[in-house]
Structure 1
Amino acid sequence: MKKVILIFLAFGLISCGSSKTIRDSKKTIKGDWTLSTITYSKTGKYNVTLLNDTSKDCFEGSTWQFVPNNNTGTYSINEPSCSTGVRNFVFTIQEENAATGLYDFLLKPTNEKSKSDTNQGFRLSLKSLSETAMQWQQTVMVDGEYFIINMNFTKF
């Protein structure tokens, strides 16, 4: 009887772990990235504040570091005409489609101790991920229509 209970307990622990897709993606995302370009699904000039922080122009060229073993990271705004400095965040990966390997993740700005003042986060879709490139998309509503923000990263 004890063996049967142990087998069910072991199976339960294995099934609660992260999927292989998420584990592999965490290995790929680990490290240092540059947010190279930001584009929009519609042409025109827009005044967009990303992650409730700063503008597109300030985010382009920012450097990001992901530490998947504790789901934390930082990004640094480097543009001299912007409010420069390091920002902290925590992130959670949520698998979207096991067949395609694409997933959503939540990114929540925090302080250095991983505590959030507002408890507000952002849902982003990971549209592509390779050893050297990554693309996020954020979909928002503008005047009753969907508006997509594409954030393109390169690994360094």
Structure 2
Amino acid sequence: PIAYNQQYNTGRPVTKPGDIRYKSAYIDSPTTPRYAFGYGLSYTAFKYSDLKISRTSMGSGETAQVQFTLTNTGKVAGEEVAQLYVRDLVASVARPLKELKDFQKVSLKPGESRTITFTINKDKLAFYNNKLEWAAEPGDFNLLVGSASDDIRLESKLTLQ
């Protein structure tokens, strides 16, 4: 007779209760996404240069301008999506390595350059804290400019007081 407390071999690889183990190999393996956030192909090349920040330290009611030059260094016209990421270096809760805060799509002819400006305010540095309040905490932030999340071309720091 079949009893509930008996162990029966079903022919599957796991035959004894001691052999059953939880394993999630996809989390433990060092994999990366096939295409990073913001990835895109183009028939031309772009150069990011001359990063300028209007202030390196700002109060809660102030803004900072992040400005740089984008140049089409290729032989054909093209479009580039310039992206601004922020990394919170000191926070009361665990934060992502970088967060997309702004972007601009720019069309440039061969050899053409354009100055791109992003505006950072307190709200772009805010997040939900451990009390579930939307707040910006004082501290240091990395400002990262690039064409994709894994293709950062320019970097600077900003301090929120």
TM-score normalised per structure 2: 0.27
Structure number with bigger Rg: 2
Which of 1 and 2 has higher RCO (CA within 8 Å, sep 6+)?
A: 2
TM-score normalised per structure 1: 0.28
